C-alpha cells in the first residue's frame, strides 16, 4: 500500500463537518464540542446541533483547545482568549516579517 498515492480530504473553509464528525476527529464527546460553540470558540452554520456544519479550520482550533486544556489546565474562556491572541500574534508576526526584510 506504500506505493499508492493517497488523496485525503482537505479541511478548508469549503469543507464542512457535522458535529459527529468533528467530535470523532478530535476524539471527544459531542458535549465538549457543544461547549466550544457556547463559548463562541467555534461558529458552525445551521440552526441547531443536528444541522450544524463546521468549517475545516474548526478542527484545528478545537484540537488546540483540547491540548491547552489537557496540558495546561486552561479553561474554555481562557482557551478562547489564547486562540484570539494567537490569531493576532500570527498576523502581527507575518506583518513583521514583511517589514523587517
Instruction: Tell me the C-alpha distance between 37 and 34, whole Å.
Output: 5
Q: Report the run of H or E that residue 55 belongs to, with start and end.
A: strand 54-55
Determine contact, residues 10/44, Cβ cutoff 8 Å.
no
In the complex, least distance from residue 87 CB atom to other proteins, rounded to whole angstroms: 11
| Closer residue to other proteins (CB): 47 or 69 | 69
In the complex, least distance from residue 50 CB atom to other proteins, rounded to whole angstroms: 22
Which residues of the shown chain bind other proteins in the complex (CB under 8 A)? 2-12, 14, 25, 27, 56-57, 59-60, 63-64, 67-68, 70-73, 82, 86, 91, 94-95, 97-98, 101
Amino acid at each position: 500500500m506504500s506505493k499508492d498515492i493517497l488523496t485525503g480530504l482537505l479541511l478548508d473553509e469549503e469543507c464542512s463537518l457535522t458535529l459527529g464528525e468533528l467530535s470523532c476527529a478530535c476524539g471527544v464527546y459531542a458535549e465538549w464540542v457543544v461547549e466550544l460553540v457556547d463559548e463562541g470558540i467555534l461558529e458552525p452554520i445551521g440552526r441547531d446541533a443536528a444541522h450544524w456544519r463546521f468549517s475545516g479550520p474548526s478542527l484545528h482550533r478545537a484540537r488546540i483547545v483540547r491540548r491547552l486544556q489537557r496540558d495546561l489546565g486552561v479553561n474554555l474562556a481562557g482557551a478562547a482568549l489564547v486562540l484570539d491572541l494567537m490569531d493576532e500574534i500570527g498576523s502581527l508576526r507575518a506583518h513583521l516579517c514583511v517589514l523587517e526584510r
